[in-house]
């Protein structure tokens, strides 16, 4: 009994001496707590990925190497002056595992946590809300699933929250609207549901809000207009419906606005014109109706570089104020129901690089000054009601890469209207009312891969110089009034896969050099005045899928080498010529051919029994010939 007080006194003595010593030791012990937490998380990760963090280890040394037991020297770890972990960055290390055993409460000083671009999965734990000092949280490009925990909103100092491209589901917690420090919020590319929370309107400090490619639905809340610091708003590719709220016009600092790929309806609010700082605006692929806002202010958006309103149900004119958009580079209005004329001054926009007006109901002339001072690269206005000539400004437009003006009523003499276009890849002027002669300049367009002038009133010959445009893969001059011969020089186009010269007045022979076109898939020269024999060299075009020589004056026999075209599939049409002699039995080798027409010739002899091998035939026409003998057993 008496020794108890003594022991107690000894204990108190011990404590009185030791406690201050323990207190002095606190910084190192804290370091140990953080080190232990990191190590136990590392230990929970998949075996093979742990090896990417070799520095995360406690060394077994004695008192003389105190410092190495803190994690401050580990890879991806930064500490403050007091030796406490403030930053963890293990991005892009291929780490596999979860956050279940990440003891967040061990890091009261953590300011920045970057776990992005790894293969971490599982839920974002609710106790992440313990990181009270956190300003940066990066969880993007991983496989996190489950809901975004509302406890995230406990991170009162959080400025940046990125969780792009994961597998999160559920709704965006409304509590996020309480996170007044937030500046950047990115939830794009997840499988979220629910709506855009109205509470986001309270986040007056947020500059970047990205909710693209989730599956959020409902309307854009008008409270969005309260986010007065917003610079970038991405709500694209979701299931949003309803109208664009007029309050969007309050976001006068906005530089990027992406609403494309939703189900937004109603009109585009006039207030859009108040967004004077806007550089990128896309409203495309929605169900927007009404007219493009004509308010003058729309044209005062001097910073606007990209404007896309394509793929909607917009009506009415292109506002003349668009010619004030001095910095515009990409202007896309295609696939709407716009009418009226294109403001002439749009042609003066020096920086205009992409102009997409196709598939509307526009009329009048194309702006004549297009590209005069400029750098037009891509110009499509197909499927409208445009009249008048090919714009003069395009004559010397050396930046042109892709032009599609087909299916309009453009007219004028094109003999001298085209320059040489060193960068031109694709040119389609088909189905217009153009006349005059083909320009030799096309031969100097060395990058041209596709040229179509089909369906016009072009006369004169096909210049042999066309053969110098050696990258041509598609040449369609069909449905014109071209005369003269198919020159041998044209057969130098060894990359041609589609050649359509049908429905013209071409005459003389089909050159034997046709056999050089070894990549040819489609050859159409029907409805011309071609004569002479079908050259046997045609058998060398072994990649032909479709061949039509119909309605010409070919005479002589069908060359047996036709049977070498074993990949013919779509059509072999030799009808309406003056072919004679027997049908070569080699045609029976065309096992994939679906349609054969040799009608309206002077063919004699039997239908070859080898035709029984043509197992793919769905249609055969041998009528109006002088054939005789038994019908072979062709299975249909």
Q: Please state the closest distance from residue 213 (CB atom) to another protein, in A.
A: 10
Q: Please state the closest distance from residue 255 (CB atom) to another protein, in A.
A: 12
- Binding to another protein in span 150-179, by CB under 8 A: none
Q: Please state the closest distance from residue 436 (CB atom) to another protein, in A.
A: 25
List the x/- string, 325-344, binding to another protein by CB under 8 A: -------x-xx---------
Cα separation, 155 vs 178, whole angstroms:
10
Q: Does 284 bind another protein (CB under 8 A)?
A: yes
Residue 625: exposure state from Cβ atoms within 10 A (0-12, 13-18, ≥19): buried
CB closer to another protein out of 498 and 503: 498
List the x/- string, 479-508, binding to another protein by CB under 8 A: ------------------x-----------
- Binding to another protein in span 225-264, by CB under 8 A: 237, 258, 260-261
Q: Please state the closest distance from residue 281 (CB atom) to another protein, in A.
A: 9
3-state DSSP call for residue 442?
helix
Q: Please state the closest distance from residue 586 (CB atom) to another protein, in A.
A: 20
- Binding to another protein in span 455-484, by CB under 8 A: 473-474
- Binding to another protein in span 174-233, by CB under 8 A: none
The secondary structure element, H or E, covering residue 187 is: none
Q: 């979860």: which residue's tokens?
A: 98
Q: 């323990």: which residue's tokens?
A: 22
Q: How many residues make up the chain in this entry?
A: 636
Q: Does 596 bind another protein (CB under 8 A)?
A: no
Q: Please state the closest distance from residue 473 (CB atom) to another protein, in A.
A: 6
Among 178, 320, 409, 449, binds another protein (CB under 8 A): 449
- Binding to another protein in span 531-560, by CB under 8 A: 543, 545
CB closer to another protein out of 213 and 573: 213
Q: Does 616 bind another protein (CB under 8 A)?
A: yes
Q: Does 423 bind another protein (CB under 8 A)?
A: no
Q: Cβ distance 545 to 568 under 8 Å?
A: yes
Q: What is the DSSP letter of 557?
A: P
Q: Cβ distance 593 to 613 under 8 Å?
A: no
Q: Please state the closest distance from residue 43 (CB atom) to another protein, in A.
A: 35
CB closer to another protein out of 123 and 473: 473
CB closer to another protein out of 153 and 359: 359
Measured from the Cβ of residue 152, the count of other Cβ atoms closer than 10 Å reads: 21
Q: Please state the closest distance from residue 147 (CB atom) to another protein, in A.
A: 27
Q: Please state the closest distance from residue 537 (CB atom) to another protein, in A.
A: 19
CA distances to 425, 541, 553, 558 from 544, rounded to whole Å, are 24, 6, 22, 17
List the x/- string, 354-373, binding to another protein by CB under 8 A: --x-----------------
Among 280, 390, 442, 554, binds another protein (CB under 8 A): 280
Cα separation, 205 vs 225, whole angstroms:
13
CB closer to another protein out of 135 and 329: 329
Q: Please state the closest distance from residue 493 (CB atom) to another protein, in A.
A: 14
Which residue in 220, 328, 298 sits closest to 265, CA to CA? 220
Q: Does 306 bind another protein (CB under 8 A)?
A: yes
Q: Does 426 bind another protein (CB under 8 A)?
A: yes
Cα separation, 607 vs 41, whole angstroms:
81
Q: Please state the closest distance from residue 397 (CB atom) to another protein, in A.
A: 20
Q: Please state the closest distance from residue 521 (CB atom) to another protein, in A.
A: 6
CB closer to another protein out of 191 and 204: 191
CB closer to another protein out of 350 and 447: 447
Half-sphere exposure of 273 (CA within 13 A, CB side): 16
**Tokens linked to 44:** 């929970």
At a CB cut-off of 8 Å and minimum separation 6, what does 318 contact? 292, 333, 338, 340, 342, 343, 346, 357, 362
Q: 């920045």: which residue's tokens?
A: 112
- Please give the angle made by the CA atoms of 278, 280 and 284, to the nearest 5 degrees: 120
Cα separation, 50 vs 169, whole angstroms:
28
Number of chain residues interacting with another protein (CB under 8 A) = 32
Q: Does 564 bind another protein (CB under 8 A)?
A: no
Cα separation, 346 vs 358, whole angstroms:
16
Instruction: Give the residues across from 459 on adjacent strands.
Output: 437, 481
Q: Cβ distance 452 to 424 under 8 Å?
A: no
Which residue in 414, 427, 378, 375 sits closest to 397, CA to CA? 375
Considering only the stretches 49-57, 291-299, 440-448, 614-622, report the one whose residues sit in contact with another protein under the rule CB under 8 A. Answer: 614-622
Cα separation, 569 vs 279, whole angstroms:
51
The secondary structure element, H or E, covering residue 489 is: none
3-state DSSP call for residue 396?
coil
Q: What is the DSSP letter of 38?
A: H
CB closer to another protein out of 124 and 590: 590
Residues that bind another protein (CB under 8 A): 237, 258, 260-261, 280, 282, 284-285, 306, 308, 310-311, 332, 334-335, 356, 426, 449-450, 473-474, 497, 521, 543, 545, 567, 569, 592, 615-616, 618, 635
């Amino acid at each position: 009994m008496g020794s108890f007080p003594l022991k107690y006194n000894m204990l108190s003595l011990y404590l009185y001496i030791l406690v201050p010593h323990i207190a002095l030791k606190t910084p190192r012990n804290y370091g140990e707590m953080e080190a232990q937490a990191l190590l136990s998380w590392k230990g929970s990760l998949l075996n093979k990925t742990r090896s990417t963090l070799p520095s995360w280890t406690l060394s077994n040394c004695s008192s003389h190497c105190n410092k190495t037991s803190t994690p401050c020297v580990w890879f991806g770890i930064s500490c403050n002056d007091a030796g406490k972990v403030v930053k963890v960055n293990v991005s892009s290390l291929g780490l596999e595992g979860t956050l279940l055993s990440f003891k967040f409460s061990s890091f009261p000083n953590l300011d920045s946590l970057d776990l992005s671009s790894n293969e971490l999965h599982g839920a974002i734990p609710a106790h992440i809300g313990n990181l009270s000092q956190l300003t940066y949280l990066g969880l993007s490009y991983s496989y996190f699933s489950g809901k975004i925990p509302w406890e995230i909103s406990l991170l009162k100092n959080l400025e940046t929250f990125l969780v792009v491209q994961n597998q999160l589901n559920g709704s965006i917690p409304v509590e996020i609207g309480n996170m007044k420090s937030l500046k950047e919020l990115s939830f794009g590319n997840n499988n979220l549901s629910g709506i855009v929370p109205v509470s986001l309107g309270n986040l007056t400090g947020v500059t970047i809000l990205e909710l693209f490619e989730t599956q959020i639905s409902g309307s854009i809340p008008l409270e969005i207009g309260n986010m007065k610091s917003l610079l970038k708003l991405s709500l694209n590719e979701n299931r949003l419906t309803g109208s664009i709220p007029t309050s969007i016009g309050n976001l006068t600092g906005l530089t990027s606005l992406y609403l494309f790929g939703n189900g937004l309806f109603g009109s585009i609010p006039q207030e859009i014109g108040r967004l004077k700082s806007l550089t990128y605006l896309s409203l495309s692929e929605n169900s927007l109706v009404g007219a493009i806002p004509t308010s003058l202010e729309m044209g005062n958006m001097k910073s606007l570089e990209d404007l896309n309103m394509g793929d909607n149900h917009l009506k009415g004119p292109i506002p003349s104020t668009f010619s004030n958009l001095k910095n515009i580079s990409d202007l896309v209005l295609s696939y709407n129901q716009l009418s009226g004329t294109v403001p002439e001054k749009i042609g003066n926009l020096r920086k205009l690089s992409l102009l997409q007006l196709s598939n509307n109901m526009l009329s009048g002339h194309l702006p004549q000054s297009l590209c005069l001072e400029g750098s037009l690269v891509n110009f499509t206005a197909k499927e409208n009601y445009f009249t008048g000539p090919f714009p003069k400004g395009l004559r010397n437009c050396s930046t042109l890469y892709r032009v599609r003006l087909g299916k309009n009523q453009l007219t004028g003499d094109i003999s001298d209207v085209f320059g040489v276009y060193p960068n031109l890849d694709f040119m389609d002027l088909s189905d217009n009312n153009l006349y005059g002669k083909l320009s030799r300049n096309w031969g100097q367009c060395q990058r041209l891969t596709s040229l179509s002038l089909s369906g016009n009133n072009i006369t004169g010959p096909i210049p042999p110089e066309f053969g110098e445009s050696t990258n041509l893969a598609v040449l369609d001059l069909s449905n014109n009034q071209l005369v003269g011969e198919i020159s041998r020089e044209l057969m130098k186009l060894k990359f041609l896969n589609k050649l359509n010269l049908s429905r013209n007045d071409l005459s003389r022979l089909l050159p034997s050099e046709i056999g050089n076109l070894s990549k040819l898939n489609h050859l159409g020269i029907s409805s011309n005045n071609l004569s002479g024999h079908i050259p046997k060299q045609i058998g060398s075009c072994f990649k032909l899928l479709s061949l039509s020589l119909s309605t010409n004056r070919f005479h002589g026999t069908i060359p047996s080498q036709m049977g070498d075209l074993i990949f013919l599939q779509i059509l072999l049409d030799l009808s309406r010529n003056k072919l004679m002699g027997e049908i070569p039995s080699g045609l029976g080798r065309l096992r994939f051919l679906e349609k054969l027409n040799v009608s309206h010739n002077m063919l004699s002899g039997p239908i070859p029994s080898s035709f029984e091998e043509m197992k793919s035939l769905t249609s055969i026409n041998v009528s109006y010939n002088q054939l005789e003998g038994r019908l072979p057993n062709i299975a249909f």
